Structure 1
Amino acid sequence: MVGPMASWDDVRRIALALPETTERGSHDDLPAWRVRDKLFVWDRPLRGTDRAALGAAAPDGPVLGARVPDLGVKEALLADDPAVYFTTPHFDGHPSVLVRLDRIGVPELTELITEAWYARAPKRLAAAHRAATD
Protein backbone atom coordinates (compact mmCIF):
# COMPACT_ATOMS: atom_id res chain seq x y z
CA MET A 1 0.00 0.00 0.00
CA VAL A 2 1.34 3.37 -1.00
CA GLY A 3 0.31 6.50 0.85
CA PRO A 4 -2.73 7.02 3.02
CA MET A 5 -5.92 5.12 2.31
CA ALA A 6 -8.96 7.03 1.09
CA SER A 7 -11.85 8.40 3.14
CA TRP A 8 -15.32 9.79 2.39
CA ASP A 9 -13.78 13.27 2.60
CA ASP A 10 -11.50 12.28 -0.30
CA VAL A 11 -14.46 10.94 -2.31
CA ARG A 12 -16.38 14.19 -1.72
CA ARG A 13 -13.41 16.42 -2.61
CA ILE A 14 -12.52 14.47 -5.80
CA ALA A 15 -16.12 14.15 -7.02
CA LEU A 16 -17.10 17.77 -6.39
CA ALA A 17 -13.99 19.01 -8.22
CA LEU A 18 -15.42 17.56 -11.46
CA PRO A 19 -17.63 19.85 -13.60
CA GLU A 20 -21.36 20.02 -12.89
CA THR A 21 -21.18 17.47 -10.08
CA THR A 22 -23.73 17.63 -7.28
CA GLU A 23 -23.92 15.71 -4.03
CA ARG A 24 -27.36 14.49 -3.13
CA GLY A 25 -28.49 11.68 -0.91
CA SER A 26 -29.53 8.51 -2.66
CA HIS A 27 -32.91 6.90 -2.04
CA ASP A 28 -31.74 5.76 1.40
CA ASP A 29 -30.25 9.20 2.14
CA LEU A 30 -26.63 8.07 1.84
CA PRO A 31 -24.11 10.33 0.06
CA ALA A 32 -24.18 10.07 -3.72
CA TRP A 33 -22.56 12.15 -6.44
CA ARG A 34 -24.12 12.90 -9.81
CA VAL A 35 -23.20 14.67 -13.02
CA ARG A 36 -26.29 16.27 -14.57
CA ASP A 37 -28.43 14.00 -12.39
CA LYS A 38 -26.65 10.80 -13.47
CA LEU A 39 -25.25 8.84 -10.55
CA PHE A 40 -21.53 8.03 -10.84
CA VAL A 41 -20.25 7.27 -7.30
CA TRP A 42 -22.17 6.51 -4.12
CA ASP A 43 -21.98 5.18 -0.58
CA ARG A 44 -23.10 1.53 -0.85
CA PRO A 45 -23.19 -0.26 2.50
CA LEU A 46 -23.60 -4.01 2.16
CA ARG A 47 -27.11 -5.36 2.59
CA GLY A 48 -28.05 -8.66 4.15
CA THR A 49 -28.28 -10.37 0.75
CA ASP A 50 -24.82 -9.01 -0.17
CA ARG A 51 -23.32 -10.33 3.06
CA ALA A 52 -24.96 -13.72 2.50
CA ALA A 53 -23.58 -13.91 -1.05
CA LEU A 54 -20.06 -12.81 -0.03
CA GLY A 55 -19.86 -14.85 3.17
CA ALA A 56 -16.51 -14.51 4.95
CA ALA A 57 -15.24 -12.25 2.13
CA ALA A 58 -17.72 -9.49 3.03
CA PRO A 59 -15.80 -6.36 4.08
CA ASP A 60 -16.56 -4.59 7.33
CA GLY A 61 -15.36 -1.15 6.26
CA PRO A 62 -16.90 1.54 4.09
CA VAL A 63 -17.97 0.55 0.56
CA LEU A 64 -18.05 2.89 -2.42
CA GLY A 65 -20.09 2.08 -5.50
CA ALA A 66 -18.67 3.38 -8.79
CA ARG A 67 -19.83 3.29 -12.38
CA VAL A 68 -17.34 2.01 -14.92
CA PRO A 69 -17.42 2.49 -18.70
CA ASP A 70 -18.41 -1.10 -19.47
CA LEU A 71 -18.41 -4.68 -18.19
CA GLY A 72 -14.91 -5.27 -19.61
CA VAL A 73 -13.48 -2.56 -17.35
CA LYS A 74 -15.42 -4.03 -14.42
CA GLU A 75 -13.98 -7.50 -15.03
CA ALA A 76 -10.45 -6.07 -15.39
CA LEU A 77 -10.68 -4.20 -12.06
CA LEU A 78 -12.08 -7.25 -10.28
CA ALA A 79 -9.27 -9.42 -11.67
CA ASP A 80 -6.46 -6.89 -11.16
CA ASP A 81 -7.07 -6.05 -7.51
CA PRO A 82 -9.60 -8.28 -5.70
CA ALA A 83 -8.38 -6.91 -2.36
CA VAL A 84 -9.87 -3.53 -3.35
CA TYR A 85 -12.59 -4.20 -5.95
CA PHE A 86 -15.49 -6.61 -5.63
CA THR A 87 -19.08 -7.09 -6.69
CA THR A 88 -22.25 -8.80 -5.52
CA PRO A 89 -25.00 -10.65 -7.42
CA HIS A 90 -27.07 -7.41 -7.22
CA PHE A 91 -24.63 -5.83 -9.70
CA ASP A 92 -24.37 -8.80 -12.12
CA GLY A 93 -24.51 -7.49 -15.67
CA HIS A 94 -24.27 -3.86 -14.49
CA PRO A 95 -21.22 -1.66 -15.25
CA SER A 96 -20.49 -0.86 -11.61
CA VAL A 97 -17.93 -2.04 -9.09
CA LEU A 98 -17.81 -1.95 -5.33
CA VAL A 99 -14.68 -0.61 -3.66
CA ARG A 100 -13.27 -1.22 -0.19
CA LEU A 101 -12.68 2.46 0.52
CA ASP A 102 -10.22 1.75 3.33
CA ARG A 103 -7.99 -0.24 0.94
CA ILE A 104 -7.64 2.17 -1.96
CA GLY A 105 -5.07 4.96 -2.16
CA VAL A 106 -6.09 8.50 -3.06
CA PRO A 107 -4.37 8.52 -6.52
CA GLU A 108 -6.17 5.32 -7.59
CA LEU A 109 -9.44 6.62 -6.12
CA THR A 110 -9.03 9.86 -8.08
CA GLU A 111 -8.61 7.87 -11.30
CA LEU A 112 -11.61 5.66 -10.51
CA ILE A 113 -13.93 8.60 -9.69
CA THR A 114 -12.77 10.56 -12.73
CA GLU A 115 -13.43 7.57 -15.01
CA ALA A 116 -16.84 7.07 -13.36
CA TRP A 117 -17.63 10.72 -14.08
CA TYR A 118 -16.56 10.34 -17.73
CA ALA A 119 -18.75 7.22 -18.03
CA ARG A 120 -21.83 9.23 -17.00
CA ALA A 121 -21.18 12.81 -18.16
CA PRO A 122 -22.80 14.06 -21.37
CA LYS A 123 -20.38 13.76 -24.33
CA ARG A 124 -19.87 17.51 -24.81
CA LEU A 125 -19.20 18.13 -21.12
CA ALA A 126 -16.76 15.19 -21.01
CA ALA A 127 -14.97 16.40 -24.15
CA ALA A 128 -14.67 19.95 -22.79
CA HIS A 129 -13.26 18.67 -19.49
CA ARG A 130 -10.81 16.36 -21.25
CA ALA A 131 -9.62 19.23 -23.45
CA ALA A 132 -9.18 21.52 -20.43
CA THR A 133 -7.12 18.95 -18.50
CA ASP A 134 -4.89 17.60 -21.29
Structure 2
Amino acid sequence: MTWEQLCKLGLELPEVVEDVWFRTPALKVRGKAFVRLKEDGASVVFMLESVDEQEFLITARSDVYFITDHYRGYPAVLARLSALRLPECRARLKSSWRLKAPRKLVAQLEGGDSAPEPRGKPQKTPRAKQVSSRAKSSPRPAPAKRARRAKP
Protein backbone atom coordinates (compact mmCIF):
# COMPACT_ATOMS: atom_id res chain seq x y z
CA MET A 1 0.00 0.00 0.00
CA THR A 2 1.22 3.51 -0.76
CA TRP A 3 -0.02 6.84 0.56
CA GLU A 4 -1.47 7.59 -2.89
CA GLN A 5 -3.43 4.30 -2.88
CA LEU A 6 -4.65 4.98 0.66
CA CYS A 7 -5.81 8.45 -0.40
CA LYS A 8 -7.70 7.02 -3.35
CA LEU A 9 -9.57 4.67 -0.98
CA GLY A 10 -10.19 7.43 1.55
CA LEU A 11 -11.56 9.82 -1.05
CA GLU A 12 -14.33 7.29 -1.75
CA LEU A 13 -15.84 8.21 1.63
CA PRO A 14 -18.27 11.16 1.75
CA GLU A 15 -16.82 14.68 1.99
CA VAL A 16 -13.20 13.58 2.40
CA VAL A 17 -10.50 15.97 1.28
CA GLU A 18 -6.73 15.85 1.19
CA ASP A 19 -5.14 18.40 3.49
CA VAL A 20 -2.21 18.91 5.86
CA TRP A 21 -2.16 17.98 9.54
CA PHE A 22 0.91 18.41 11.74
CA ARG A 23 2.81 19.46 8.58
CA THR A 24 2.17 16.10 6.87
CA PRO A 25 -0.37 14.99 4.25
CA ALA A 26 -3.70 13.94 5.76
CA LEU A 27 -7.30 13.06 4.97
CA LYS A 28 -10.04 15.08 6.64
CA VAL A 29 -13.80 15.05 6.80
CA ARG A 30 -15.35 18.49 7.34
CA GLY A 31 -12.08 19.83 8.70
CA LYS A 32 -11.38 16.95 11.09
CA ALA A 33 -8.42 14.69 10.35
CA PHE A 34 -8.81 10.94 10.66
CA VAL A 35 -5.59 9.65 9.08
CA ARG A 36 -2.23 11.16 8.25
CA LEU A 37 1.10 10.17 6.78
CA LYS A 38 3.90 10.03 9.34
CA GLU A 39 7.07 12.05 8.82
CA ASP A 40 8.97 8.87 7.88
CA GLY A 41 6.73 8.41 4.82
CA ALA A 42 6.50 4.68 5.54
CA SER A 43 3.67 4.63 8.09
CA VAL A 44 0.33 6.28 8.77
CA VAL A 45 -1.61 7.29 11.88
CA PHE A 46 -5.21 6.08 12.16
CA MET A 47 -7.57 7.52 14.76
CA LEU A 48 -9.22 4.86 16.93
CA GLU A 49 -12.21 4.67 19.24
CA SER A 50 -10.20 3.65 22.29
CA VAL A 51 -6.82 2.69 23.67
CA ASP A 52 -8.23 -0.83 24.12
CA GLU A 53 -8.67 -1.04 20.34
CA GLN A 54 -5.08 0.16 19.94
CA GLU A 55 -3.80 -2.59 22.25
CA PHE A 56 -5.91 -5.21 20.46
CA LEU A 57 -4.61 -4.26 17.00
CA ILE A 58 -0.99 -4.23 18.13
CA THR A 59 -1.38 -7.63 19.82
CA ALA A 60 -3.30 -9.21 16.93
CA ARG A 61 -1.27 -7.74 14.04
CA SER A 62 2.12 -6.54 15.29
CA ASP A 63 3.45 -6.95 11.76
CA VAL A 64 1.15 -4.09 10.66
CA TYR A 65 0.31 -2.01 13.75
CA PHE A 66 2.55 -0.39 16.32
CA ILE A 67 2.92 2.78 18.39
CA THR A 68 5.70 5.00 19.63
CA ASP A 69 5.82 6.42 23.15
CA HIS A 70 4.14 9.56 21.81
CA TYR A 71 0.93 7.59 21.09
CA ARG A 72 0.89 5.56 24.33
CA GLY A 73 -2.44 6.19 26.06
CA TYR A 74 -3.92 8.03 23.06
CA PRO A 75 -6.58 6.43 20.83
CA ALA A 76 -4.50 6.17 17.67
CA VAL A 77 -2.33 3.54 16.03
CA LEU A 78 0.50 3.58 13.53
CA ALA A 79 0.35 1.24 10.53
CA ARG A 80 3.21 0.20 8.25
CA LEU A 81 2.10 1.01 4.71
CA SER A 82 4.20 -1.84 3.31
CA ALA A 83 2.28 -4.40 5.43
CA LEU A 84 -1.20 -2.86 5.10
CA ARG A 85 -3.47 -4.68 2.64
CA LEU A 86 -6.42 -3.27 0.71
CA PRO A 87 -9.36 -4.80 2.67
CA GLU A 88 -7.84 -3.93 6.03
CA CYS A 89 -6.92 -0.43 4.90
CA ARG A 90 -10.46 0.19 3.66
CA ALA A 91 -11.95 -1.03 6.97
CA ARG A 92 -9.53 1.06 9.05
CA LEU A 93 -10.24 4.18 6.95
CA LYS A 94 -13.99 3.75 7.32
CA SER A 95 -13.70 3.19 11.06
CA SER A 96 -11.51 6.27 11.55
CA TRP A 97 -13.76 8.34 9.28
CA ARG A 98 -16.83 7.38 11.35
CA LEU A 99 -15.16 8.74 14.49
CA LYS A 100 -14.66 12.20 12.98
CA ALA A 101 -17.58 12.59 10.57
CA PRO A 102 -20.78 14.31 11.72
CA ARG A 103 -23.54 11.90 12.75
CA LYS A 104 -25.82 12.89 9.88
CA LEU A 105 -23.07 12.12 7.40
CA VAL A 106 -22.44 8.73 9.03
CA ALA A 107 -26.18 7.98 8.79
CA GLN A 108 -26.09 8.83 5.07
CA LEU A 109 -23.21 6.42 4.53
CA GLU A 110 -25.13 3.69 6.33
CA GLY A 111 -27.99 4.31 3.91
CA GLY A 112 -30.61 5.09 6.53
CA ASP A 113 -32.20 8.11 8.04
CA SER A 114 -32.24 6.58 11.49
CA ALA A 115 -30.05 8.17 14.11
CA PRO A 116 -26.68 6.46 14.49
CA GLU A 117 -25.45 5.09 17.78
CA PRO A 118 -24.18 7.81 20.09
CA ARG A 119 -20.42 8.31 20.18
CA GLY A 120 -18.32 9.74 22.95
CA LYS A 121 -19.83 11.22 26.09
CA PRO A 122 -23.59 10.93 26.46
CA GLN A 123 -25.41 14.18 25.88
CA LYS A 124 -27.23 15.74 28.81
CA THR A 125 -30.93 16.07 28.22
CA PRO A 126 -32.60 19.13 29.68
CA ARG A 127 -34.92 18.38 32.57
CA ALA A 128 -38.42 19.68 32.43
CA LYS A 129 -39.08 22.27 35.10
CA GLN A 130 -41.68 21.24 37.61
CA VAL A 131 -44.09 24.08 38.12
CA SER A 132 -46.31 24.00 41.16
CA SER A 133 -49.92 25.04 40.89
CA ARG A 134 -49.19 28.00 43.20
CA ALA A 135 -46.53 29.30 40.84
CA LYS A 136 -48.95 29.14 37.93
CA SER A 137 -51.62 31.23 39.62
CA SER A 138 -49.46 33.97 41.14
CA PRO A 139 -46.37 35.38 39.51
CA ARG A 140 -43.21 35.57 41.55
CA PRO A 141 -42.54 39.01 43.01
CA ALA A 142 -39.64 40.94 41.52
CA PRO A 143 -36.51 41.00 43.68
CA ALA A 144 -36.03 44.13 45.75
CA LYS A 145 -33.48 46.62 44.44
CA ARG A 146 -30.39 47.20 46.52
CA ALA A 147 -29.58 50.65 47.64
CA ARG A 148 -26.34 51.97 46.23
CA ARG A 149 -23.63 53.00 48.62
CA ALA A 150 -22.50 56.55 48.44
CA LYS A 151 -18.95 57.06 47.29
CA PRO A 152 -16.58 58.25 50.05
The answer to whether TM tops 0.5 is yes
TM-score of the superposed pair, with normalisation by structure 1: 0.78
Cα deviation, 1:53-111, whole Å, max 9, x if unaligned, reads xxxxxxxx711111012112111111100010000111122111000000111111111
Cα deviation, 1:104-132, whole Å, max 9, x if unaligned, reads 11111111111110111111111211126
Structure 2 segments unaligned to the other structure (5+ residues): 113-152
Which residue identity does 1:33 align to in structure 2? L
- Please tell me the root mean square deviation across aligned C-alpha atoms, in Å: 1.4
The separation in 2 between residues aligned to 1:19 and 1:70, in whole angstroms, is 23
Structure 1 segments unaligned to the other structure (5+ residues): 1-5, 47-60
Aligned residues: 112
Computing the radius of gyration from Cα coordinates, the structure with the larger value is 2
Which residue identity does 2:35 align to in structure 1? V
User: In the TM superposition, what are the counterparts of 1:1-134 in structure 2 within 5 Å?
Assistant: 6-28=1-23, 30-46=24-40, 62-131=42-111
Percent of paired sites with the same residue: 30
Question: How far did 1:45 drift?
Answer: 2.5
Question: How far did 1:32 drift?
Answer: 0.4
Which structure is higher in RCO with an 8 Å CA cutoff and minimum separation 6?
1
- Find runs of 4+ consecutive structure 1 residues off by over 2 angstroms: none
The separation in 1 between residues aligned to 2:6 and 2:31, in whole angstroms, is 18
TM-score of the superposed pair, with normalisation by structure 2: 0.69
